Amino acid sequence: MDKRDIFVQIDQMEEQMGTLYAELGEIKRQIIELLEENKRLGIENQQLRKLLKKDAEPMLPLLQAAGASIPVSMKEPTGEGYDNLARIYHEGFHICNVYYGHLRTEGDCLFCMSFLNK
């Protein structure tokens, strides 16, 4: 094999690795975005369920008497305030007002910690 061929090949490989590296970074960014969106939707869903529960609560005995199946979320009391935030934090998301809802990619956050210790 010609020496020049080897260098051409190495150059090509280098270029491919650069492209792969860029793609990997892009995929990583998309995963973080999806995780954050998922968490936001989860929180929103929980809040909507809470509202729904408040609205539907007076009707619960009627619904039960009629044999309707009641969603579990309406029967179980939801953990309030602090507990919810502590849970979200331990699931790996920020609860501080600086980065709220974003994925914690670098371990503990001092803003969140000070918030939790209040």
For position 96 contacting Zn ion by CB under 5 A, the verdict is yes
Alpha helices for 1-118 (secondary structure H): 3-56, 60-65, 72-75, 81-90, 110-116
For position 85 contacting Zn ion by CB under 5 A, the verdict is no
CB of 32 to Zn ion, least distance (A): 15
Query: Which residue in 111, 114, 116, 118 binds Zn ion (CB under 5 A)?
Result: 111
76 vs 106 by CB, closer to Zn ion: 106
Tell me how far apart the alpha carbons of residues 105 and 108 are, in angstroms, rounded to a whole number: 9
Residue type, 117: N
- Cβ neighbours of 4 (radius 10 Å): 8
Determine contact, residues 100/94, Cβ cutoff 8 Å.
yes
> Is 94 known to sit in a ligand binding site?
yes
Task: Report phi then psi at 44, rounded to 5.
Answer: -60, -40
* Residues 22-61: x where in contact with Zn ion by CB under 5 A, - otherwise, as a string: ----------------------------------------
> Is 47 known to sit in a ligand binding site?
no
Query: Which residue in 47, 94, 97, 114 binds Zn ion (CB under 5 A)?
Result: 94
Which residues form the interface with Zn ion (CB under 5 A)? Answer: 94, 96, 99, 109, 111-112
